[in-house]
A and B are shown apart, each in its own frame.
Chain A
Amino acid sequence: MRMPNNFFVVSVLLMSFLAPQHVSAQTAEQRGLEIAQEADKRGNGFNDFRAEMEMILKNRQGDESRRFIRVMGLEVDGDGDKGLSIFDEPADVRGTAMLTYSHKVDTDDQWLYLPALKRVKRIASRNKSGPYMGSEFAYEDLGSQEVEKYTYKYLRDEVFQGMDSFVIERDPVDKYSGYTRQVTWIDKAEYRPLKTDFYDRKNTLLKTLTFIGYKKYLENHWRPSEMFMENHQTGKTTRIIWKNYRFRTGLKDNDFQVNDLKRAR
């Protein structure tokens, strides 16, 4: 899995206040990219973080399943982030750990540790469109969201949940992505993604992700306390509840080595 690192940092972004004549000279693509770059810039600078996430999976019948995962992330200058996730629940996968080195353009490097066998397995990370832990989140939804991984188009301004927002489309560059496009609402005040619609390979609306309960950390780092993903085609939902966010905790490159997986826990 890719890490939820920059996730929110993520997504798409906003444009800064540009001179009006400048805006009019821009194409929608240029404007979209500029917004994305500005948002990325705003999201950077957290150095490292630790958090716990609880995932609540529900199917159409209302059956529930829960996952508890500890995640750690490290910003890497000039490249994608590094991430380590350790699974605490379900108990039959406890101790399983996943290490990801994400890259801006190249395929990410990924290792999985299987505690029952004591096996560290390098895995082909191209299956980014696959579900993460059986949830409605794909690996690519939770991965480090590098600006370079998409092309952008500014669509329109809209008021969303009472907030002035930009609506932006971004198209994955990677042909292995499960999406043709994503449409994201971003609030103009703080450049936070509020909602994303995901369109599948047939360009049909597949999922909607809603970001709930933003809180401010550090100087100006906003993180949602919940993320709710709804699959319109299957009726399944996944709610992620983020807990215990800590930034600049002193994690270093040392803490994200393949060798460390064996004692991740």
Chain B
Amino acid sequence: MLIKPSSLFKTVVVMAMFFCAIAVQANNKVSYLQVGVFSDNATAKNILQLLKKSGFNAEQRTVEMIGRSAEVVLVGPYERTSQIFYDQNRLGDIGWPAVVKRFPVLHKPKSKPSTFRASTSGSLIAELRGFTDDPLYSEQGRTTVSLAVQPEFYMSWNDRKSSLTFVPFIRVGDEDEERNHADVRELMWINAMADWELRLGIGKVFWGVAESVHLVDVINQVDLVENLDIEDKLGQPMLNVSRFTDWGTWDLFVLPLFRERTFPGVKGRLRGPLVVDTDQDALYESAKRDKNIDWAIRWSHYIGDWDIGLSHFSGTNREPTLDNIGMNGLGQPVIIPNYNLMNQTGLTLQAIFGDWTWKLEATSTREKGQRYTESVSGFEYTYVGLFDSSMDLGWLVEYIYDQRGKQAPTPFEDDVMLGLRWVFNDMQSSEVLMGAIYDLDGTATSAIIEASRRLGQSWKLALEYRGSAGVEPTDPAAYLFRNDDYLQLELGYFF
């Protein structure tokens, strides 16, 4: 494939940003607080002793000033600006106003033992899925067995400040060929430098606070064939620069490659009468198709018991519209997913009051000239020490709203989720999560049960049930799955 000049330009921009970030690290001058410049050594020494007595990390240096040598008294060095301001105030309080100056570090820190770490870990999970109802379409079966492997290779150096992580994923053995897929979940190089952090590679980003849906998480494409809960994500190629300040964290994301959503194939359950064809090219609003350079920015901060996050994303919506019908190679009608461009602003808010956690996620999206709002709000209350035992019981209530109503691509547009999280706090970390989602403007109810327990030291057993009842044909997103209630058993080995 030929590289078009425009995409080459974009690549150059991305690379330039990358090298700028590295350059920040390369600068060998660091910040100090300069308390004063003195012509005589004795005065400087006195002040140095005074500062040291007050607990400051002070030093004295001889510098050249207008052709003469002078003594400066410095406090520092500092890595974070927040520390500079803090010490500047402290110095001010004891009568030594100081200015911020950059000096080279004189004393190289004594060579520390190597902080290189490397580890290999991962999981091997066998899955058995059985559907409780007969399939609606002749190609589908009632049970399927598969194996998912996800190793993780990790190495870090520079006292964990730099690291490289590689997490491939593969599923094999499933009846549905589309579920037998591989992905690079993560291939990320991380470099942390004081107030900055740089991430380059493939990875996953989580911003949400709610449990039932994750509205604000727009960076990663959903790996839908894995699970309907949309918590499995495909690895997203990205450049992420983070800046940490006293007034919050700023994150900038450049997302150069778009990943298509995965959908069940002909033999897969949890689909409609027409298969979504991901083998042929999808439709895109962007002329650059999947090479559109998406970007996102986010500010997040916590103030006391409050956490707040504000984000903006501009690029191709990860959620396709599915109303475009085409033909596959065999001349059968299939759905061709269509990905529109969008601008989405997201808000997350969380507040903790004792045993109560209040949550809000809201997005405002402009797509195809239309603006719509989605939100999820609710609380989590944890009752600790149930019946004088060591068990905890958590109550979750969340209200899900989508302004688009029945036109929304998800089944949740005016729904309430009631959830119960029962944590045993035992040796095996046993846990049961039960949830029911009620459609307030309809009759549909869906239920989720997830239970898990560790077996011995390295094995884990997990049970999951997903079902729905009373779904009306007028709620297409849910109606398509009306016969697809299932029970799933997973046995995992972790190493």
Residues of A near any B CB (own CB < 8 A): 57, 59, 63, 65-66, 89-95, 107, 117-120, 122-124, 126-127, 129-131, 134, 176, 178, 201, 250, 252-254, 257-260, 263-265
Contacts and interface: CB of A to CB of B under 8 A. Distances in A.
Given A90-B457, A263-B192, A253 B355 contact: no
B13 interface: no
Nearest to A117: B206
Nearest to B197: A259
Nearest to A111: B302
Contacts, number: 105
30 contacts: A65-B457, A90-B457, A91-B121, A92-B123, A93-B429, A94-B121, A94-B494, A107-B354, A117-B206, A118-B203, A119-B208, A120-B206, A123-B357, A124-B382, A126-B354, A126-B355, A126-B384, A127-B382, A127-B384, A129-B384, A130-B384, A131-B390, A131-B425, A134-B425, A253-B80, A254-B79, A263-B160, A265-B117, A265-B160, A265-B163
Contacts of A89: 457
B392 A118 contact: no
Given A92-B454, A127-B392, A260-B192, A65 B163 contact: no
Contacts of B429: 90, 92-93, 134
Given A117-B231, A134-B428, A265-B154, A124 B192 contact: no
B146 interface: no
B167 to A, nearest CB: 10
A105 to B, nearest CB: 15
Contact of B385 (A123, A129, A252, A257): A129
A91 B19 CA distance: 37
B457 to A, nearest CB: 6
**Which 9 interchain pairs have the tightest Cβ spacing?**
A91-B494, A127-B384, A92-B494, A119-B206, A131-B425, A65-B427, A118-B206, A118-B204, A131-B390
Contacts of A263: 160, 163, 190, 192, 197
A147 B375 CA distance: 44
A65 B456 CA distance: 7
Contacts of A59: 427
- Sort chain B's interface into a size bin: 35 or more
A265 B156 contact: yes
Nearest to B350: A122
Contacts of A178: 385
A57 B427 contact: yes
A9 B396 CA distance: 38
A264 B190 CA distance: 12
Contacts of B244: 257, 259
Given A130-B390, A263-B192, A92 B427 contact: no
B166 to A, nearest CB: 14
Interface in B167-210: 190, 192, 194, 197, 203-206, 208
B321 interface: no
B142 interface: no
Contacts of A127: 355, 382, 384, 392
Contacts of A131: 390, 425
Interface string B375-406: 00000001011001010100000000000000
Contacts of B466: none
A91 B460 CA distance: 10
A23 to B, nearest CB: 34
A213 B208 CA distance: 46
A258 to B, nearest CB: 7
Contacts of B450: none
A159 to B, nearest CB: 35
A126 B356 CA distance: 10
Interface centre among A90, A93, A126, A260 (most CB of B within 10 A): A90
Contacts of B352: 122-124
A254 B83 CA distance: 9
Contacts of B190: 263
Contacts of A123: 352, 357
B134 interface: no
B428 A65 contact: yes
B205 A118 contact: yes
A130 B385 contact: yes
A124 B355 contact: yes
B495 interface: yes
A192 B392 CA distance: 34
B302 A258 contact: yes
A65 B425 CA distance: 13
B494 A90 contact: yes
B492 to A, nearest CB: 7
Contacts of B194: 254
B3 to A, nearest CB: 31
Nearest to A132: B425
B446 interface: no
B322 to A, nearest CB: 26
B59 interface: no
Given A65-B427, A131-B425, A263-B190, A124 B356 contact: yes
Interface in B116-130: 117, 121, 123
B79 A252 contact: yes
B249 interface: yes
A111 B91 CA distance: 32
Interface string B144-176: 000000000010100010010000000000000
Interface in B50-67: none
Contact of A134 (B109, B154, B156, B426): B426
A104 B242 CA distance: 32
A93 B392 CA distance: 19
A124 B458 contact: no
B243 to A, nearest CB: 10
